[in-house]
């Protein structure tokens, strides 16, 4: 359990003031008003006035020691942090299943943390520890194999909690293990179709799967729930229609790559339609969570560049494959920005910074962006909104070069260009403000 501390100050022995053997100058009357410029008066001023001022500046003013000005830090209990309450709920849920599951959940992360802190590995487990671990797993297995739906719900809910905490703690491997375990448990419970009759568990499973997949940029493991709210219908903009028409006439692009680009832009357009009106009234409307997650599910389910290459027996990434992957990653990044802003949690954006769009763009020939400058600006601005501090100068340089190429002469021109593709108006306000300032400096 995480415990916060506040600092109390304790008195310490003050340092003695530095010794000064210099004797102060003797007092003397010096007339300075009206000012006297003769050499004798100036010499008196230097000897009896400026000398002491210079000494005080070099030595510092002598102050009475304050017993609280210098102190040592003594930690004191400051009450539970919010995470403590969350952990308490989690432990109660795990204890419903078995004490063994609770032991596994607590002991294993503690051992890993100790290994990281000491940079050493623990000694091999003893026979007694192995027996205790096996007994704990048996207790969990008994809870999983129970025929009671209440027991099934408790087990599934507990593993969902574990997977969610792993995702938030950045334990990617543990998250994958728990999600793989969830797949087997759900299959044993009759599949996701059976869970559709248990809306609370099904919805929790969907959100856990979706948010973790967004952090990892992985295809969701579970399909969309059966009972979803109606998703907005969005018509393609004239620019996107022309873009797709030109892509279909390109012999180098294959159908799967065009489908990825079309799917990414369509889902981004749907979320823009969903949010541009609602965010003007309430930027944190809870009833938007499921629709936004459903649209993000569509983007995350799109094919990756590697899978398309394997299907077509291509050993290296083609320029068209890189192009489609850049659009897909940019759409996922846009959803990460929306999720971060709506939840107030920077986890989703921070995780996406590890995906280097710059690395993909550097491999592309600039010719592929000819006639697609608006789309290129859309990609670049999204990456700036992600807060890529180390690569920001490169992105800004690319933005200004592209703006010059298509003769954009103001911030409003750039925003109109983004809207031609698709844009969520209220997304990432702080980064957009900084970008506007940078563009303004470049234009001036």
Domain of residue 276, residue span: 238-443
Q: Is residue 245 located within the same domain as residue 349?
A: yes
Among the candidates 184, 216, 248, a domain finishes at: 216
pLDDT tens figures, 219-229: 999 999 988 88
- Answer yes or no: is 230 within a domain: no
Q: Is residue 252 located within the same domain as residue 357?
A: yes
**Rounded Cα gap, residues 242 and 250, in angstroms:** 13
**Rounded Cα gap, residues 293 and 209, in angstroms:** 10
To which residue do tokens 């010794």 refer?
19
Quick check: 122 pLDDT over 50? no
Least confident of 188-202, 278-292, 294-308, 403-417: 278-292
- Answer yes or no: is 48 within a domain: yes
Query: How are the residues of the chain apportioned to helix, strand and coil, as percentages rounded to the nearest 5?
Result: 65, 5, 30
% of the chain with per-residue pLDDT over 70? 64
Please give the model's pTM, rounded to 2 decimal places.
0.67
Q: Is residue 25 located within the same domain as residue 151?
A: no
What total of structural domains would you count in the chain? 3
* For range 418-426, the mean pLDDT: 93
Quick check: 437 pLDDT over 80? yes
**Rounded Cα gap, residues 271 and 281, in angstroms:** 16
- Answer yes or no: is 199 within a domain: yes
Q: Is residue 185 located within the same domain as residue 277?
A: no
Quick check: 75 pLDDT over 50? no
Quick check: 297 pLDDT over 60? yes
- Answer yes or no: is 85 within a domain: yes
pLDDT tens figures, 12-66: 555 555 555 555 555 555 555 666 667 777 777 666 655 555 555 555 555 554 5
pLDDT tens figures, 97-106: 555 555 555 5
Please, how many CA atoms are within 13 Å of residue 242, restricted to the half-sphere of its CB?
Answer: 9
């Amino acid at each position: 359990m995480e415990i916060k501390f506040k600092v109390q100050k304790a008195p310490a022995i003050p340092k003695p003031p530095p010794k000064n053997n210099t004797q102060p100058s003797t007092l003397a009357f010096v007339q300075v008003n009206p000012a006297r410029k003769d050499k004798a008066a100036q010499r008196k001023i230097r000897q009896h006035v400026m000398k002491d001022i210079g000494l005080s500046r070099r030595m510092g003013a002598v102050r009475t020691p304050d017993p609280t000005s210098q102190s040592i830090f003594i930690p004191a209990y400051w009450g539970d942090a919010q995470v403590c309450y969350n952990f308490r709920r989690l432990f109660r849920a795990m204890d419903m299943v078995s004490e063994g599951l609770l032991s596994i959940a607590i002991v294993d992360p503690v051992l890993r943390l100790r290994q990281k802190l000491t940079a050493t590995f623990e000694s091999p487990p003893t026979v007694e520890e192995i027996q205790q671990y096996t007994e704990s797993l048996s207790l969990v297995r008994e809870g999983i194999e129970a025929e009671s739906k209440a027991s099934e719900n408790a087990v599934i809910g507990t593993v969902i909690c574990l997977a969610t905490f792993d995702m938030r703690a950045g334990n990617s491997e543990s998250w994958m293990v728990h999600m793989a375990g969830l797949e087997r448990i759900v299959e044993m419970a009759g599949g996701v179709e059976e869970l559709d009759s248990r809306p609370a568990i099904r919805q929790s499973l969907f959100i856990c799967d979706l948010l973790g997949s967004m952090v990892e940029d992985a295809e969701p493991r579970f399909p969309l729930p059966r009972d979803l709210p109606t998703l907005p219908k969005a018509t393609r903009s004239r620019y996107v229609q022309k873009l797709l028409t030109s892509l279909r006439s390109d012999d180098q692009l294959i159908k799967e790559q065009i489908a990825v680009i079309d799917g990414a832009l369509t889902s981004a357009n749907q979320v823009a339609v969903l949010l541009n009106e609602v965010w003007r009234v309430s930027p944190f409307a809870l009833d938007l969570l499921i629709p936004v997650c459903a649209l993000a599910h569509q983007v995350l389910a799109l094919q990756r560049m590697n899978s398309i290459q394997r299907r077509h027996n291509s050993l290296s990434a083609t320029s068209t494959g890189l192009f489609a992957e850049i659009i897909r990653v940019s759409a996922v990044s846009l959803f990460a920005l929306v999720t971060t802003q709506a939840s107030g949690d920077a986890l989703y954006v921070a995780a996406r910074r590890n995906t280097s769009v710059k690395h993909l763009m550097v491999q592309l020939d600039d010719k592929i962006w000819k006639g697609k400058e608006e789309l290129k600006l859309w990609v670049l601005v999204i990456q700036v909104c992600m807060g890529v501090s180390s690569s920001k100068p490169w992105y800004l340089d690319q933005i200004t070069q592209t703006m010059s190429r298509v003769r954009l002469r103001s911030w409003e021109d750039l925003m109109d260009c983004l809207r031609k593709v698709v844009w969520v108006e209220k997304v990432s306000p702080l980064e957009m403000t900084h970008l506007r300032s940078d563009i303004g400096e470049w234009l001036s």
